[in-house]
């Protein structure tokens, strides 16, 4: 059918997009002015002046979702899942090709934090619609999700709920008391008394009574709180738990009868979340009636942006075993790996011990693959981005846990064109390019997107190869 559509329109037709429903044919086409929606049949409710081709507007995306339900994100529940962040709005076709090749992984194809939205100058609605057009292009009819990532305020929830997100990652990290991790017992006692007990619907005496002196059997090991460990967990995470409760209840009220999923993330903190603290967080959330599908602790070791796990793998494996025992104790939810891109050494460990109860979250790695393609097809543009990133790194690194040394990243003029793509395999260069994405996109975004649009097949192929490496261990 797509051959006849190509003849009728004079445009390139994306074959997998061609869909017939209710006597009307829908397809995605590409012409000199970019991509357009094709509708052969009933086009009632779509905006545009043509009787066959329509612009990829938010209104037309919404109208198409009402016609083709598989274009609407849905909750993924306890299926093994992966979040595929896309800071450019062009990566979904490549992500889907990797998903098809590996099989068995439920994807979140729209995923961006409010911080990333601000830095990329995109809205939650744009992020979701860009993913949807990629889903349509590739004819992906399996369930997929949309993650409103790292939300910190009720207003963030409102914006993302209006856009149609189904997965909400609440980030109470600003309310975690990192100083409690090493505070003295005397200090902890004072902090403990000043926790927001009304918001926690609890009291110091009640928490002590139901926790101290008890042994909690987790099948493979037992947990016990003494006064110091209880107060440390409560002081470190008490305010964060109260905030997560407020966010969850606001979300539930906003969503009403619409299905949604909650992820609780405490990974962006200065100190690790011990299995005992994980147990405390889960127990308190459950007591407060919070329902969540995944939880992201701050694991031991270093989860730096764009590079492999840094730490002792044996110690990490032992810790994961205990975290998994905690999640099983409370009734299965998924263990979530944040800053999960490129952590190839730990994927087999996590996959083996979670038994599929895992969510992998990736983001900036797709942007780095975009730069790899840029280095291959337009070295001059990549040189500009590289030198600009080197100049921005010391400023832009402030909000990230990274350890790249700028002196290890050569200036563009010191490298041949053939050597440029190899920088995307070098530790320091990857991090420098990764954390400066916001500044780089503000200056080079339009040129970069135009280049990738022109070379969309090369970008999709690079992403497919890269994401197969991410997904295959979990299959």
Are residues 232 and 155 part of one domain? yes
**Catalytic-role residue among 130, 263, 267, 369:** 263
- Active-site position among 130, 138, 147, 149: 149
With beta carbons less than 8 A apart as the criterion, state whether 268 and 363 touch: no
Q: Are 266 and 332 in a shared domain? A: yes
- pLDDT for 1 equals 67
Q: Phi/psi at 249 (nearest 5 deg)?
A: -70, -35
- Which residue range is the domain that position 46 belongs to? 2-58
Q: Is residue 213 part of a domain?
A: no
Contact 230, 212 (CB under 8 A): yes
Domain boundary among the residues 331, 364, 397 is at 364
Q: What is the pLDDT at residue 9?
A: 82
Q: Do residues 146 and 276 both lie within one domain?
A: yes
Tens of each residue's pLDDT in the chain, 475 residues = 667 877 878 899 999 999 999 999 999 999 898 999 999 999 999 999 888 999 999 999 999 999 999 999 999 999 999 999 999 999 999 999 999 999 999 999 999 999 999 999 999 999 999 999 999 999 999 999 999 999 999 999 999 999 999 999 999 999 999 999 999 999 999 999 999 999 999 999 999 999 999 999 998 999 999 999 999 999 999 999 999 999 999 999 999 999 999 999 999 899 999 999 999 999 999 999 999 999 999 999 999 999 999 999 999 999 999 999 999 999 889 999 999 999 999 999 999 999 999 999 999 999 999 999 999 999 999 999 999 999 999 999 998 989 999 999 999 999 999 999 999 999 999 999 999 999 999 999 999 999 999 999 999 999 999 999 999 999 9
CA 336 to chain centre: 10
Per residue in 286-311, pLDDT (tens digit) is: 999 999 999 999 999 999 999 999 99
The answer to whether residue 379 is domain-embedded is yes
Q: Is 187 contained in some domain?
A: no
Q: Is residue 387 part of a domain?
A: yes
Instruction: Say yes or no: 307 and 161 in one domain.
Output: yes
Element (H, E) at 40: strand 34-40
Residue 89 belongs to a domain: yes
Q: What pLDDT is attached to residue 4? A: 80
Q: Are strands 106-113 and 81-84 parallel, antiparallel or unpaired?
A: parallel
Residues 259 and 353 in one domain: yes
The answer to whether 257 and 165 are in contact (CB under 8 A) is no
| Residue 186 burial (CB count, 10 A) | 8
Residues 330 and 398 both lie in one domain = no
Answer whether residue 259 is part of any domain. yes
Spatial CB neighbours of 168, under 8 Å, sequence gap ≥ 6: 147, 148, 151, 157, 160, 251, 260, 261, 262, 263
- The DSSP H or E segment spanning 460 is helix 456-471
Q: CATH number of the domain at 292, please.
A: 3.20.20.70
Q: Do 35 and 137 share a structural domain?
A: no
Let me know whether 342 and 412 are in one domain: no
Among candidate residues 58, 81, 98, the one where a domain is terminated? 58
Residues 359 and 456 in one domain: no
263 is catalytic: yes
Same domain for 166 and 272, yes or no, is yes
d(CA 225, CA 113): 35
* Contact between 282 and 324 (Cβ < 8 Å): no
Per-residue pLDDT of 460-469, as tens digits, reads 999 999 999 9
CA proximity to 382, closest of 350, 429, 427: 429
Q: 299: helix, coil or strand?
A: coil
Q: Which of 364, 387, 409 is the last residue of a domain?
A: 364
Classify the C-alpha dihedral 314-425-439-167 as positive or negative: negative
Identify whether residues 36 and 158 lie together within a single domain.
Answer: no
Answer for the pair 86, 95: CB distance below 8 angstroms, yes or no: yes
Is 308 among the catalytic positions? no
Looking at the structure of the chain, the number of domains it has is 3
According to the model, what pLDDT value does residue 332 have? 84
456 found inside a domain: yes
pLDDT of 2 reads: 61
Check whether residue 337 and residue 389 sit in a common domain: no
- 421 HSE (CA, 13 A, CB side): 11
First to last CA, the chain: 34
Roughly what angle, to the nearest 10 degrees, separates helices 456-471 and 364-377? 140
Instruction: Tell me which H or E stretch contains 324.
Output: helix 313-329
**Residue 450 is assigned to a structural domain of this protein:** yes
**Strands 12-13 and 167-170, sheet pairing:** unpaired
């Amino acid at each position: 059918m797509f051959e006849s559509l190509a003849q009728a329109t004079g445009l390139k037709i994306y074959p997998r997009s061609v869909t017939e429903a209710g006597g009307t044919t829908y397809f995605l086409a590409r012409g000199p002015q970019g991509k357009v929606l094709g509708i052969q049949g009933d086009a009632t409710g779509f905006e545009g002046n043509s009787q066959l081709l329509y612009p990829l507007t938010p209104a037309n995306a919404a109208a198409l979702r009402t016609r083709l339900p598989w274009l609407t994100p849905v909750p993924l529940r306890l299926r093994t899942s992966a979040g595929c962040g896309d800071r450019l709005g062009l990566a979904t076709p490549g992500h889907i090709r990797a998903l098809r090749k590996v099989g068995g992984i439920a994807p979140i194809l729209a995923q961006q934090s409010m911080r990333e939205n601000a830095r990329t100058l995109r809205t939650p609605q744009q992020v979701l619609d860009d993913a949807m057009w990629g889903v349509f292009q590739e004819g992906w009819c399996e369930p997929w999700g949309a993650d409103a990532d790292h939300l910190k305020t009720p207003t963030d929830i409102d914006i993302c709920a209006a856009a149609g997100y189904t997965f909400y990652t609440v980030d109470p990290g600003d309310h975690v008391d990192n100083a409690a991790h090493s505070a003295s017992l005397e200090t902890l006692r004072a902090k403990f008394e000043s926790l927001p007990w009304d918001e926690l619907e609890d009291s110091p005496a009640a928490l002590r009574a139901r926790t101290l002196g008890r042994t909690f059997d987790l099948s493979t090991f037992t947990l016990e709180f003494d006064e110091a460990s209880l107060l440390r967990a409560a002081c470190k995470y008490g305010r964060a738990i109260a905030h997560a409760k407020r966010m969850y209840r606001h979300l539930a009220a906003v969503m009403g009868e619409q299905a949604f999923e909650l992820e609780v993330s405490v990974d962006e903190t200065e100190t690790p979340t011990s299995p005992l603290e994980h147990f405390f967080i889960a127990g308190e959330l459950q007591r407060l009636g919070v329902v969540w599908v995944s939880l992201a602790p701050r694991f031991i070791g270093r989860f730096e942006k764009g590079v492999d796990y840094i730490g002792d793998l044996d110690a990490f494996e032992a810790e994961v075993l205990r975290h998994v025992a905690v999640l099983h104790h409370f009734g299965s939810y998924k263990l979530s790996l944040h800053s999960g891109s490129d952590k190839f050494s730990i994927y087999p460990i996590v996959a083996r011990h979670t038994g599929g109860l895992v969510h992998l979250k990736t983001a900036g790695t797709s942007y780095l693959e975009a730069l790899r393609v840029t280095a291959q097809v337009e070295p001059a543009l990549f040189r500009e981005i590289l030198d600009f990133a080197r100049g921005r790194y010391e400023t832009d690194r402030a909000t990230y846990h990274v350890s790249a040394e700028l002196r290890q990243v050569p200036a563009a003029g010191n490298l041949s064109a053939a050597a440029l793509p190899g920088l995307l395999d070098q530790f320091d260069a990857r991090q420098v390019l990764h954390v400066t994405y916001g500044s780089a996109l503000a200056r080079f975004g339009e040129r970069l997107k135009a280049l990738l649009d022109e070379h969309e097949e090369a970008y999709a192929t690079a992403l497919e190869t890269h994401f197969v490496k991410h997904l295959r261990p979990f299959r």
